[in-house]
């Protein structure tokens, strides 16, 4: 029983973090049609900018103010970045490949920029809520509980935005048929910027989540990015719920596999399953045949 609860809690917690990262990645992929390798660095930046606002060594603002500020700053940053390294290549035949190399180059530059500004020593963010609770004999920090609760709310809001609001619907329209969007007068360029900014803000939030229970380092975004990649491939991007479901499934798979066959073999098994899924259903487990969103 204790083991079961432990596995479930771990799956919920890690699943929340994966989902938060993967949704932004999927958003950019579907809207702009490029893969954003800067997404991990957005997460890192989110954590560091929040640290800058909240830390008593820096500005010393309360967390409730710092968190939205950090998301705003990183969103603005994401907007600027896509204007510099993605938008100029849109419309070129090899945009997919060129965007891979430019976002990779930008992420390497930004990662080292982070190191220059905040230094290589690990920093820590305060938890969202301090303290621990005892749950069926298992101690879990309130920070983790908060993440498990907040993430579905945020993701639900994103879902509502994409399904019920004009702006969100326009975003999906761009994902489905760009030429038609131009025809009916939707500002496609502005929506590209919006998709990138929104994705960056979500990544920043994930960064604050991470920074609250692990030490931050300039390289902290690399591993979550590769996990989010796996999640997005696994779930497909045709539907915003695809990557979200996939995030929780993969986290559950990891938790079980770590318990049964051990920590070292889990990633290998995960990738083997992923390759198998792609061979059978390359567009992802939860999607139809088209490139779309929500």
Partner 1 sequence: MSFLRELGLMAAGLVVLAVLPAVIHDVYLRHLLIMVYVYGVVASSWDLSLGYGGIFNFGHLALFGVGLYAYGMLTKLLGLDPWLALLASGAAAALAAAIMAGPILRLKGIYIVLVSFAFSQLVLQLIISESDYTGGNSGLVRIPALAIPGHNMVRDAKLGYYYIALGLLGASTLCLRLFVRAPIGRSAIALRDNEEYAVSRGISLARQRLITLCMSAVFTGMAGGFYGGYFRNASTDVFGIGLTTLLLSMVLLGGRATIYGALLASFLLTFLAEAIADLGAWRPIIIGVLIILVMLVYPGGLHAALQAGVQRVGTLGRRRTRPLL
Query: Which residue ranges make up the site for partner 1 (CB under 8 A)?
Result: 29, 35, 84-85, 88-89, 92, 94, 96-98, 100-102, 104-106, 108-109, 111-113, 115-116, 222, 226, 229-230, 233, 264-265, 267-268, 271-272, 274-275, 278-279, 282
**Residue 94: which residues within 8 A CB-CB, separation 6 or more?**
none
Nearer to partner 1, 135 or 265 (CB): 265
Nearer to partner 1, 108 or 132 (CB): 108
Burial 219-239 (b: 16+ CB within 10 A, else e): ebbbebbebbbbbbbbbbbbb
Nearer to partner 1, 59 or 263 (CB): 263
- Min dist. Cβ of residue 93 to partner 1 (A): 10
Integer-rounded Cα Rg, in Å, for the chain is 19
**Contact between 162 and 172 (Cβ < 8 Å):** yes
- Min dist. Cβ of residue 289 to partner 1 (A): 13
d(CA 159, CA 165): 10
Nearer to partner 1, 4 or 276 (CB): 276
**Residue 267: which residues within 8 A CB-CB, separation 6 or more?**
none
Tokens 């991990």 map to which residue? 40
Q: Where are the alpha helices (DSSP H) in the chain?
A: 2-32, 39-54, 63-85, 95-118, 142-164, 166-176, 178-183, 188-211, 222-235, 241-260, 265-280
**Contact between 210 and 47 (Cβ < 8 Å):** yes
What is the DSSP secondary structure assignment for residue 90, as one 8-state letter?
T
φ, ψ dihedrals at 15, nearest 5°: -60, -40
SS3 for 213? coil
């Amino acid at each position: 029983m204790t083991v079961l609860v432990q596995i479930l809690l771990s799956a919920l917690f890690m699943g929340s973090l994966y989902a938060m990262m993967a949704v932004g990645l999927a958003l950019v992929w579907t809207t702009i049609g490029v893969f954003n390798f800067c997404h991990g660095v957005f997460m890192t930046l989110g954590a560091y900018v929040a640290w800058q606002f909240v830390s008593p060594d820096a500005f010393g603002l309360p967390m409730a103010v710092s968190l939205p500020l950090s998301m705003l700053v990183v969103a603005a940053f994401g907007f600027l970045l896509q204007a510099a390294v993605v938008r100029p290549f849109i419309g070129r035949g090899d945009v997919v490949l060129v965007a891979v190399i430019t976002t990779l180059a930008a992420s390497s530059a930004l990662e080292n920029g982070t190191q220059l500004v905040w230094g290589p020593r690990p920093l820590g963010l305060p938890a969202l809520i301090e303290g621990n609770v005892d749950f069926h004999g298992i101690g879990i920090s309130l920070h983790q509980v908060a993440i498990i609760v907040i993430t579905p709310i945020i993701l639900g809001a994103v879902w509502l935005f994409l399904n019920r609001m004009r702006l969100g619907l326009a975003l999906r329209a761009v994902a489905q048929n760009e030429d038609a969007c131009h025809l009916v007068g939707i500002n496609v360029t502005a929506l590209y910027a919006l998709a990138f900014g929104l994705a960056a803000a979500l990544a920043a939030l994930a960064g604050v989540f991470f920074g609250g229970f692990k030490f931050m380092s300039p390289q902290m975004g690399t591993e979550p990015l590769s996990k989010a990649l796996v999640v997005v491939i696994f779930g497909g991007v045709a539907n915003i719920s695809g990557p979200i479901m996939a995030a929780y499934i993969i986290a559950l798979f990891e938790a079980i596999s770590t318990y049964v066959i051990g920590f070292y073999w889990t990633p290998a098994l995960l990738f083997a399953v992923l390759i198998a899924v792609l061979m059978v259903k390359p567009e992802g487990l939860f999607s139809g045949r088209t490139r779309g969103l929500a």
